[in-house]
Every structure is written in C-alpha cells, then in structure tokens.
A and B are shown apart, each in its own frame.
Chain A
Amino acid sequence: MYVYILGGFLGSGKTSLLMRLASMYIERKLRVALLVNESGEVGVDGATLKAEGYDAIELPNGCICCSLSGTLQNALRNIKSDIDPDIIIIEPTGLALPHKVKELVRISMIDPDGCFIIGIVDVQRFDDLIKKKGEFFKRQMHGSDFILVNKSDLANPQRLDEIKSWMSSEFPEKPLLSISVKTGENLDKVYEMMK
C-alpha cells in the first residue's frame, strides 16, 4: 500500500488532481481510498467528489496536520483494516503543512510501502502568494517528494520558466514538472512518477 499526500495552497488544484489520479488508478484496477480534509465546519469537496462519482472519506472542521491529527490516524487505521486499498490519496486543507501529515502517517502504524508528498503550485496566483505568504508557502513545499506546477494552460512558456526557475532555486533537489489538470497535460508523467 502506498500513501500519497497532495500538498498545496488553497485553490492550487488539489481536488481536481485527486479526481484525475483516482480515475487513473481505478482504470488500472487498483483499489483507491480518498481522504479529504477541509478546515471549515462543513465539507464541500466530499459533495463535489460524490457528484463526480467518487466516494471519499471526509474529515472536516479542522486541519489533519494539527487539530485533527488523531482523527487522521484513526481514519488511516480504519481504512487499512476495512478497505486495505492499494493506494491512499490524502488531500489536506490548503492551509496544512504536508510534512506534518507525512509524519502522522508514519506514526499511525499502517505500515505503508511508501508515503510521498506531491507539492502543487498554482501558476496563476504564484506572485501574490509569494508576496503575502512566502515563508508559509515554502514550508508547505519543503517536504515534497516532487513538485507539480499546475495550471500551465493559464501561463505563457516564459512565465512558466520563471516560476520553475524560482522553485528550482528554492528546492534544487526536488523534481519539478509543469502540468495542467484541466487539459491533462503531463498527467501521464505524474502517474509514472507516482509508480
């Protein structure tokens, strides 16, 4: 069993990527469990996923990297015992710190074969985010095993290069790939990276 954590700021495209990845795994006859966390009292993503034909376990009203850390560990143990999936994909809130989630997976005693963080960057609001919350953004990205620069369809090649260059200078050791969940660009490569 492998665990993937989708880390990225609010609106970066985590839920959309989650659905695309889940579809890819299901097409390959793998059992996938989706765990979705939202900070508000009510969850919207669960309803969205259901409307799109996916079943997801929702953990609303807090953050699984901190205030809901125990809830996350219980949910993981239940998923392991009840479903025993091939893949668990966790979508924390856009305000979570993914490396903390990874640590909680490690100590939850579900013993995955691997646990990886996929960092997701929003091309469109990159400048605003760096300007206003640069340090927090770096903390979100620093535990990533690889980083996806999403919404490439909304940026010209030069702009994409600028962002990738910035990311490479900050995180030189991390593989970087530009994608568009909307158009499907490079999602096959993401799947290969995950395997």
Chain B
Amino acid sequence: MSTATTLRSRHLLGIAGLEPDEIDLILDTALAMKEIATRPIKKVPTLRGRTIMNLFFEASTRTRMSFELAEKRLSADTLGMTTSGSSMSKGETLADTARTLEAMAPDMIVMRHGASGAPHQLARICRASIINAGDGMHEHPTQALLDAFTIREHKGRLGGLRVAIVGDLAHSRVLRSNARLLTRMGASVVACGPATLVPPGLEALGVRVTTSMDAAVDGADVVMMLRVQHERMHGLYFPSVREYFTLYGLTPARLARAASDAIVMHPGPMNRGVEIDSAVADGPWSVILDQVANGVAVRMAVLYLLAGGDERADASAA
C-alpha cells in the first residue's frame, strides 16, 4: 500500500517531480476510479462546480478524449480549445493566452503543447493547477502513469520487471516519462532504436541503450513500442519504412524472444506495418486497448488528487 496520502505539488508537470510513494498513491487511487466505469451511472459528483480548461495546441484524439471523459465522470465543468480557431493562430503569445484564460478563473488547466517546458511556464503564470498532457519531446506524465497502471494490472508489480522500449527514441516524450517512472519504481529498462534516433545522454535517465532489437526484446516482460513520429522528423533518419520494419518492427517471431507471458504495449496511434505487425497488435499479448481504458481511470485519479492541492505549498512550479 502507498504511504503518501497526498501529492506534494499542485501541478503535474512531469514524472521528474514525483516520488515513488506519490506514484503508488496515484495508481492505487486509479484502481478505485476504474470501478466507476463499470457502474450503470458512470459519474460521481466529486468535482462539481470545478472548471477545467483543456488546451490542446497539438493534435490529439485519445489523450484529449480521455481527459474530457475523466473530467465529466468526476462532474467537472469542462471546456476545450484547440490551436486552430484560437487567438494563438492570430499571433498571441502563450503567456498572454495564459493570462487571458487565467482571468476566467479556471481551477485546472490541462495542456498539450509542442514546446518542451510550456506547461512549466503556464504554472508560473497561473493560479490554476496545471496538468501536462504532453510537451514537445519532454514529458507525457499521464501516459507513463497509465502504462505503469496497466503493467501493474497484468504483472502485479513494477519492481524487478524487464521492460524494452523500442522505436523513435529521439522524439519520444512517452519514452522519457516512462523511463523515469519505471526506473524509479525498480524496473530495468532497455531503450532500443536505430542509431540515428538515439539522442545523446539517454543513459542519464537510468536506461540501457542498444541498437539491436533482438538484444532488447530478449527475456523482456514488457515490450513497449513507440510510434514513428513522421511529423517531428525533419530529416532522413532511416532509408525506408520497409527497412525500419525489418530491423525494428515487432513481429510474432521477434516477440518469441521475450518472456513467454510478455505483454505488448503501444501509446497509439499505431503505424501498422511500420513499428508493429498487425498480428502482434491484435494478438493475445497486446494490452493496447487496456491502456486506453486505464487512461481514463488514471486521469480521474490525477484530477481528484490535484483538486485538493494547496497553492501556497507549491514547490515544483518554480
């Protein structure tokens, strides 16, 4: 059982600011939240009267829908903004947008932004609790938390597990948040991708780095595939999609090297035939749809725990 009964910060900007007992608290709370989805009335009155703004400056389907659903299941009033059709496209700076929205007195702001550190900037300006829903190539904390929840659900634990994270390491905030969380909770993580997509300094996150997929998958309890992010690739990182799939695509044959009860994860959206074979994505190892379902419960847990936060006792916004 967790020993923390509260989160120390009133923002969730990244996994970097979370202690292991806070991670346990979020995952245990999510377990209670998951039950609500099984009820005839999938809604509790907890955040009645709270206003939550969802600011998505980058394309998102599942994360935005997942946050909105989590907010509605807790009875919060929610409103959303996407970049197209907002004043940002008229040239307003993030700081000015933040001050404008702040004047409307939201209790929480969920933000996805293409620039690393954008939510941290917002946290310095706003009185509202800020939740990072993905910032550039930096962090995506709720994704790592829902991944950890899904792993714990299937494996009963995080400590001592062998986790392989494979794919586009350079552009992946999912990798960074997961590597921080999993190593902090005692799992051993190996990150694998083509040399052109291995950023310098990755070992500082506590992970082992390899360019051999067979070595990475060997004996793994969890194989987490990352999306090839064509939209962030402004250069030529590998010769062809076919060559990428040959070297780094997860096929049933390659998965046979992992532990016999290994699970396969993907944060979505999947590029079938690029990083993952359809036979694996739809196979018995796949927990990809569990990840989506668990995302709502984990986000409900985060919203609930942050709603009790103390704005004076805030340490990590600075």
B partners with A: no
